[in-house]
């Protein structure tokens, strides 16, 4: 195990339609995670040893 490298990566994307106070939606939209009334995010992870 000490002579070979191992690498793993993964990606997840999720979205959900939201119904809540419009001001909160406006705050989320400034961070670029809200499109209309749909909240979405994408995460990546990379591990190596």
Write down the domain spans for the chain. 8-48
- For residue 46, give both structure tokens: 């990379």
Predicted TM-score of the model (pTM):
0.51
- For residue 3, give both structure tokens: 């002579």
What pLDDT is recorded for position 21? 64
| 10-residue stretch averages of pLDDT, the chain, 49 residues long | 86 84 66 73 89
What pLDDT is recorded for position 45? 95
Strands of 4-49, DSSP E: 7-17, 34-35, 38-48
């Amino acid at each position: 195990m000490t002579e070979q490298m191992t690498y793993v990566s993964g990606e997840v994307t999720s979205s959900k339609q939201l119904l809540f106070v419009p001001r909160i939606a406006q705050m989320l939209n400034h961070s670029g995670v809200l499109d209309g009334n749909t909240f979405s995010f994408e995460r990546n992870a990379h591990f190596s040893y």
